[in-house]
Every structure is written in structure tokens, then in C-alpha cells.
Amino acid sequence: MWGIDPLMDSNSKPNVRRAVRVTAGAGLERWRVRTAWVFLAPTLAVLALVAGWPLLRTAMLAFTDAYLSRMAEARWVGLENFRWLLTDGDWWRSVQNTIVFTVASVSVQFVLGLGAALVLNVRFAGRGLLRAVVLIPWAIPTVVSARMWRWMYHDVYGVFNDLGLRSGLLAQPVAWLADDTTAMAAIVVADIWKATPFMALLLLAGLQAIPPGLYEAARVDGVGRLNAFVYITLPLLKPAILVALIFRTLDALRVFDLIYVMTSNAVSTASMSVYARQQLIDFQEMGYGSAVSLMIFFVIAVFVAAYVTAMRASLVEEG
């Protein structure tokens, strides 16, 4: 064989074969990587066009005083937009509203979604139909569900006021969405109703990936249901929990349509996205609005990066 010493003893032949296999494996791996990049190239090009360019354009406008009515006259102002943003009380109020909305809605959705997933994971008659029915709130477009909840909260025609007055729980109608003390809670309730099925669906997929044999072995060993849930279900469900929480947290931090349809530009409930829309559309301040949008992007990116890093560290420690 070419490249092999004819005087080589028999003991060195396995080493040569092993080296040939390693070289062939490395070549195959490089071929797979190149093939993957070839197939990913069109997708990456489309993403660069539809996402990369708008982000770059937004970053460029963020350092100008551009107005929608006179974009050609935009001047470079450096960090002036960001200085004004960091001193704007309405901006910080929108950040606070977004954080409150995210923490409240995602935490309750996780608890309810986990409970629903555990129930839907049990075999019983009509389980398939129940799974389909549970997904109905999530399937309804957000604008439609927001409009529906807005009517339900109406102080004159709303069903909540009607039920409260009939049952004696309310002495007079409540303007749920006009009162600063109840508006955010009302929006959170609407979002919980809307997004809990999505959380349950992701967690249900994680539950179905757990081998049933683990529970059978635990049952044989005399392990109770609570201990099986704590020491088997939760540890094995952590990857699915991570995915579900990231998806819902991203959606909650970027929330716009639900809040805007229900309370418009109200300062008491405006999210970061609602605040950005007001600057860009209502006030036509493209430069300042772009600075707000860029700040939202960095806030979400930093939050998600920190969250994913912490969750991965937790998974590695337990693994």
C-alpha cells in the first residue's frame, strides 16, 4: 500500500488503520460542515435582507434628528437621542410596565401551563378533543382577542361589571381599563388567557419525551407521585421549560398589539414597543424613535443572553 513502510511490523498496522479512519472521519465532518453552509446560505441571505438591513437602517437613524416629513434633511446628532431617552420619565415608565407585564404574565402562564400539560399528558377518554379545545385561545389572533377582552371590561356593556353587579361583588361599574390601578392587571389577565395554551403545548411536548419506564421503575421502588414529579419530571423537563420560558419572555418583552388595542397610548400601561410606536408614528420623530427601537433591541438581547447563560449553567451543574 502506498505511504506504508513494507518493513512495518504487525503491531503498527492497527495504528495506521486508526489514523486512516480518523483522517477519513475529519474529512467527512468538513464535508458535512461545508454542505450545511451551502444549504444555510439562502436562508442567511434572506435574513440579512429582511432583518439585517432594517436593523442597520434603524441604527443609522438613531444618531440623527430625522423626522418623517423631512427625512432628506436629517442631521447627525450623535448620542443626543440616547441622552434624551435616558432622562425621559415616560420611557422609564414603559420599561417598568413591560417588566411588570412580563414577570406577572409569564410566571402565571408557566404555572397554569405546567398544570394543563400534566393533565393533558394523562390518558383518558376525549384527551385529543380536549387538547384541540385548549388551543383555541392561542389560535385566535391577538388583535381579535384584545378587542374581545376590551368589550368584556367595558364599564357599561362589559360582562365582568354585569356579573359583579348581579352577584353583589361590585357596588358600581368599574372602568377596568381606564383606572390606573386595574388597567395593567386587566391586560395581564387577557394575556394569560391568550398565551397559556402555547406554554402548555411546549411543556406537553417535553413531558411526552420522558420515557414512561422511569415512572414504572419509580412505582416499583415505592416512590410516590410527588417525589416522582420532583425528582424525575422536573429535572427531565428543564430543557422544555427553558425553551417555553424564553419564547414567552421574548413575546412579553416585545408586547405591542395587546396593550395598544386595549389601552392605546395610556402612560400607565404603555410598553416599550407602544412608546416606540408613539414616537415614530404619532410624533414622526424617526431619529428619536429609532433610538428607542435600538434600545429595546439591546434590552431584550441582554436579558435573553443573561437568562440563557444562567439556565445553561444550571443544566450543566445538574448534568
Are residues 52 and 89 located together in one domain of the fold?
A: no
What is the rounded average pLDDT for all residues in the chain? 87
> CA 165, CA 168: separation in Å to the nearest integer?
5
144 part of a folded domain: yes
Are residues 91 and 30 located together in one domain of the fold?
A: no
Are residues 134 and 48 located together in one domain of the fold?
A: no
1 part of a folded domain: no
The whole-number pLDDT of residue 222 equals 86
Domain count, the chain: 2
71 part of a folded domain: no
Are residues 116 and 260 located together in one domain of the fold?
A: yes
Query: For residue 211, what is the domain's CATH number?
Result: 1.10.3720.10
> CA 258, CA 109: separation in Å to the nearest integer?
16
Are residues 26 and 114 located together in one domain of the fold?
A: no
Are residues 177 and 34 located together in one domain of the fold?
A: no
Are residues 155 and 17 located together in one domain of the fold?
A: no
66 part of a folded domain: no
> CA 166, CA 37: separation in Å to the nearest integer?
65
The whole domain housing 56 covers: 10-61
The whole-number pLDDT of residue 144 equals 95
Are residues 57 and 158 located together in one domain of the fold?
A: no
Q: Write the pLDDT tens digit of every residue in 94-114.
A: 999 999 999 999 999 999 999
272 part of a folded domain: yes
68 part of a folded domain: no
What mean pLDDT is predicted for residues 268-291?
94
Q: Write the pLDDT tens digit of every residue in 11-40.
A: 555 555 565 555 656 677 888 888 889 999
- At 315, list the grid cell: 443544566
Contact 106, 252 (CB under 8 A): yes
279 part of a folded domain: yes
Are residues 166 and 52 located together in one domain of the fold?
A: no
Which pLDDT band, with edges at 50, 70 and 90, does 3 fall under?
Answer: very low
